[in-house]
Amino acid sequence: MAAPKVAVVGAGVIGLSTALCIAETCPSCSVTVLSDQFSPNTTSDVAAGILIPHTYPGTPIHVQKQWFKETFTYLFAISNSAEASEAGIHLVSGWQVFRNTPKEELPFWSDVVLGFRPMSEAELQKFPQHQFGQAFTTLKCDCPPYLLWLEKRLKASGVQMYTRKVADLWELHSEYNIVVNCTGIGAHQLVGDEKLFPVRGQVLKVHAPWVKNFIRDGDGLTYIYPGIHRVTLGGTRQKENWSLFPDPGTTKDIFDRCCSLEPSLRGAQDIKVKVGLRPSRHWVRLQREVLSQGGVKLLVVHNYGHGAGGFSVHMGTAKEAARLVGECIAALQGTSSRAKL
């Protein structure tokens, strides 16, 4: 059969990394990325991009750990290369602090990040409201540069990218053999996924170059993540809130909460407010599906619903999606060889 044509719908971090994995693992494919929005206008552009996993209640822990490990290994290699600055990836050390000792003192990912350990008494003195903490080094992605770096890699691999609004996956059946759905919150409307819901995130991007360490409250709501050029302050987790407009009261609340963890932030300059809708489900939808109309079939692979944890697992889930695309190609080739007989 002719080279299989694969369309990846969506150009956030999940779509771009999935397209790259498909292009690298299935070199006989022709891969195209279709999206109505590219960077800097994707949800991923708003993300803090720090590798601290979010837990999916409906996904086995060993699977989540594998996704995180594959992503960490991939980004760690980039952070140790000459491309680190262009890709916006760097190591960052810091603290996760708790008002009360958590039930789980060793999270499932503690042996993937670097140097994970309980905080010392001396370190905890910096956080008088908190009585327990963990110190470790992880990776931070500055999202807009990372997305542009992925786009550059895709172009070098021969992947085409087009701005196009896809209203129904079936509209692609005459042009492509396989469609990969990486539309994030867009899947709510595109495939009518009622299990998918927005969790609104509002963050501040500030100029505070003296802040070098990340600080994260154990509840995950308040965090300070230094990037290469700006520090991300957060945040919110507002379920079922579809508003993309910044809320001034929320901005003040985030700023005050972060200043209580790091008082020097009162001197932060040039505060920009960003809002994104995290595509949340109880588990990532990572599966094959066959759509059919009138005897005509379209093979689909879904990879969406990463919620707040997309950056932490994006390369792990991209590799799994690429493997499912490989299965689809094998199925197509099997059908094609049977047709010749």
Q: What residues form the annotated binding site for D-dopa? A: 223, 278
Helix or strand (DSSP H, E) at 260: helix 248-261
Between strands 178-181 and 197-207, the pairing is: unpaired
94: CB partners within 8 A, 6+ apart = 135, 136, 137, 213, 214, 215, 216
| Torsion, Cα of 149, 221, 267, 85 (10° steps) | -20
Largest CA distance in the chain: 75
Q: Quick one: tokens of 142?
A: 């500055």
Beta carbons of 15 and 166 less than 8 angstroms apart:
no
Give the pair of three-digit tokens for residue 280. Answer: 């949340």
- Residue recorded with tokens 């290369």: 81
146: nearest Cα among 213, 196, 92, 74: 74
Residue 50 tokens read as: 């720090």
Q: How many CB atoms lie within 10 A of CB 4?
A: 20
Q: Which helix (DSSP H) or strand (DSSP E) does residue 181 occupy?
A: strand 178-181
Pick out the residues of the known binding site for FAD: 43-44, 166, 183
Q: Give the bridge partners for 161, in sequence order.
A: 33
Binding residues, by number, are 43-44, 166, 183, 223, 278
